[in-house]
C-alpha cells in the first residue's frame, strides 16, 4: 500500500526527491529506491526528524512499538501523522506518540494498488485545515477520499469499502462459476464476468443516475434480467449484504479494542 501511494504521488507530479521512506527490510528498501528514485533509510527516527507529514504504513500489531520508538522525535518536530493501519484509533496513536499530536486516520482499500481506491478519513482535533488538505491530496493520489466527522464511522467504512473488494470478487467468482455451469469455457466465463463488473462499476461512477435507476434501465419487464433479479430478491440478497456488513463493522470495532489493549 505504501508503494502504491508513493507511485500515485509521483504520477501526480509530486517530486520524488521530497519523499523519504524508512524500511527495515534490506530488499524492500533497495527496491523502493530503485523503483521510485526516493530517499530510503533503515531508521524510523531519521525520517521522522526530516519530514512535515509522516505516513505510518505498518502492520497494526507492531504500530505501538513503532510509534513509541519515534515519539520523542514526533514531539519535537510535530509533523502531521497519517495512519493507514486498520483498527488503530487516533487517540491511541496520539498517546503512543506522546500526546497532542495531529493525527489523520485513514481506511484505504486494495484497489489503491491500481490507483482506483476508496478511503475514509478522520482528523482529530489537532489537525489544521491545511493539514487536512495535505492528507487528502496524498490519499487522493490513489483514489477517492471522503471525510468522516465521527471516528466510529471508520468501522462502517471498513465494512463497506475496506472489505468491499472481497465481496465484489466473490460476486465475480459466483458469476464465473454459474457461467461455466451454463456451458461457457472457464476463460470465457472469467473474462465476461470481470469485464461486466468493471463496466457496471465504471458506468455507476460516471453516470448521473444512481445505481437503482441504472438497474431499472437495464431491467425490461418480463425479460431475462427481471427473472434473474427476482431470484436474487427471493434469496434475500440485500438482507445478506446487511448482515455481512454488520458483521464486518462489529469485528472492526472488536479488533480496535484488542489492539488498544495490546491483545
For the chain, give the percent of residues with pLDDT over 70: 99
User: Same structural domain for residues 168 and 141?
Assistant: no
Mark whether 140 and 182 lie in a shared domain.
no
Classify residue 236 as left (phi > 0), alpha (psi -120 to 50) or beta: left
Number of structural domains (the chain) is: 2
pTM here is: 0.88
User: Is residue 197 in some structural domain?
Assistant: yes
State the sign of the Cα–Cα–Cα–Cα dihedral 222, 227, 229, 232.
positive
CA distances from 151 to 98, 99, 154, 171, 251 (A): 20, 18, 6, 30, 15
Domain range for 149: 2-154
Residues 129 and 239 in one domain: no
Q: Do residues 122 and 188 share a domain? A: no
Please list, residue by residue across 236-255, b when 16 or more beta carbons sit within 10 angstroms of its beta carbon and e when fewer do: eeeeeeeeebeebbeebbeb
The per-residue pLDDT for range 122-161, each reduced to its tens digit, is 999 999 999 999 999 999 999 999 999 999 999 999 999 9
Domain CATH number, residue 68: 3.40.50.720
Give pLDDT tens digits for 13-23: 999 999 999 99
CATH number of the domain encompassing residue 191:
1.10.3730.10
Neighbours of 184 (CB within 10 A): 16
Is 197 a residue whose pLDDT tops 80?
yes
Pairing outcome for strands 80-83 and 53-56: parallel
My answer on whether 58 and 109 are in the same domain is yes
Taking 80 as the threshold, does the pLDDT of residue 262 lie above it?
no
Does one domain contain both 127 and 103?
A: yes
213 and 99 share a domain? no
Radius of gyration for the chain, computed over Cα atoms and rounded to the nearest angstrom: 21
Domain membership of residue 231 (yes or no) is yes
Q: Is residue 257 part of a domain?
A: no
pLDDT digits over 16-74, tens only?
Answer: 999 999 999 999 999 999 999 999 999 999 999 999 999 999 999 999 999 999 999 99
Task: Give the whole-angstrom CA distance, residue 36 versus residue 25.
Answer: 17
- 200 and 133 in a single domain? The answer is no
- Say if residue 114 is in the same domain as residue 193: no
pLDDT band at 113 (very low <50, low <70, confident <90, very high): confident
Amino acid at each position: 500500500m505504501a508503494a502504491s501511494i508513493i507511485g500515485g504521488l509521483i504520477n501526480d507530479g509530486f517530486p520524488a526527491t521530497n519523499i523519504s521512506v524508512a524500511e527495515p527490510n534490506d530488499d524492500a528498501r533497495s527496491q523502493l529506491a530503485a523503483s521510485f528514485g526516493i530517499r530510503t533509510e533503515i531508521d524510523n527516527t531519521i525520517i521522522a526528524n526530516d519530514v512535515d507529514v509522516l505516513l505510518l504504513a505498518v502492520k497494526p500489531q507492531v504500530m505501538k512499538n513503532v510509534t513509541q520508538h519515534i515519539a520523542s522525535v514526533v514531539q519535537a518536530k510535530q509533523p502531521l501523522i497519517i495512519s493507514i493501519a486498520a483498527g488503530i484509533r487516533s487517540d491511541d496513536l496520539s498517546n503512543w506518540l506522546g500526546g497532542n499530536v495531529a493525527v489523520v486516520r485513514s481506511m484505504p482499500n486494495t484497489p489503491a494498488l491500481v490507483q482506483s481506491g476508496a478511503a475514509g478519513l478522520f482528523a482529530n482535533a489537532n489537525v489544521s485545515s491545511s493539514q487536512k488538505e495535505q492528507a487528502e491530496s496524498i490519499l487522493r493520489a490513489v483514489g477517492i477520499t471522503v471525510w468522516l466527522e465521527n471516528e466510529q464511522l471508520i468501522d462502517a467504512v471498513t465494512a463497506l469499502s475496506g472489505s468491499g473488494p472481497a465481496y465484489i470478487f466473490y460476486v465475480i467468482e459466483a458469476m464465473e462459476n454459474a457461467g461455466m455451469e451454463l456451458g461457457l469455457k472457464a476463460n470465457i466465463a472469467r473474462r465476461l464476468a470481470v469485464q461486466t463488473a468493471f463496466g457496471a462499476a465504471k458506468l455507476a461512477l460516471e453516470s448521473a443516475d444512481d445505481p437503482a435507476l441504472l438497474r431499472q434501465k437495464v431491467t425490461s419487464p418480463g425479460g431475462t434480467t427481471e427473472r434473474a433479479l427476482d431470484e436474487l430478491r427471493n434469496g434475500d440478497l440485500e438482507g445478506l449484504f446487511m448482515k455481512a456488513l454488520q458483521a464486518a463493522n462489529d469485528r472492526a470495532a472488536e479488533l480496535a479494542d484488542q489492539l488498544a489493549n495490546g491483545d
